Amino acid sequence: MNFNQAKIGLLIQKDYGECYGFYTKKLGLVPTWGNRKGPYTSFAMAKGEPNCFDMTSAKEMSLVKGYIQSAKNGISDTVVIILPTKDIQKDYAKLTANGVTFLGEPQKIEAWGGFTSAYFRDPEGNLFELNDGY
């Protein structure tokens, strides 16, 4: 797992298409995966450059086994810190042994590009994702 290569994932709570338009038209970002309809899109600064962040329709989080919208501070999840990993099972086992409580076991979600991910929260309720798709 690479904390120094962490990515940002936005969880879109309201209008996915509007956000997509904002990032592409107003900020000039280039979608590298996905489209205006979602449910998942990666963006880069320019074609051929690495992704700078991803966005996912918050409704799609229901596909993640064990995910419950955080009630901490009464605020909906809008950001997830994505931690790239080359061996998700190994990192999942290591963090579990260290006392991290995951929302569920690692799972592959085809609608998001077929990568495997596992989610956990820090003591403040911030959402983190281990992800083998980077």
Whole-model pTM? 0.66
Bridge partners for 12 per DSSP:
57
Nearest to 38 by CA among 5, 63, 4, 73: 63
H or E stretch at 94: helix 88-97
Instruction: Determine the average pLDDT of the residues in 37-47.
Output: 91
What are the CA-CA distances from residue 36 to residues 42, 64, 82 (Å)?
Answer: 11, 22, 22
H or E stretch at 7: strand 7-12
User: What is the band of 130 on the pLDDT scale with cuts at 50, 70, 90?
Assistant: very high
Are the beta carbons of 29 and 43 closer than 8 angstroms?
Answer: yes
Distance of CA 116 to the CA centre of its chain: 11
Full set of structural domains in the chain with CATH: 3-131 (3.10.180.10)
Of the candidate ranges 39-43, 101-105, 109-113, the one whose mean pLDDT is the lowest: 109-113
Of the candidate ranges 1-5, 9-13, 115-119, the one whose mean pLDDT is the lowest: 1-5
Model pLDDT, residue 104: 94
Query: pLDDT over 90 for what percent of the chain?
Result: 38
Model pLDDT, residue 124: 64
Are the beta carbons of 42 and 7 closer than 8 angstroms?
Answer: no
Out of 10-14, 69-73, 81-85, 121-125, the most confident range is 81-85
Looking at per-residue pLDDT, the higher value among 34 and 126 belongs to 34
pLDDT digits (tens, 9 = 90+) for 50-94: 888 899 888 887 777 877 766 665 667 788 888 889 999 999 999
Core vs surface per residue 69-88: b (16+ CB within 10 A) or e: eeeeeeeebeebebbbbeeb
Rounded CA-CA distance 58/71 in Å is: 15
Amino acid at 106: P
Are the beta carbons of 60 and 77 closer than 8 angstroms?
Answer: no
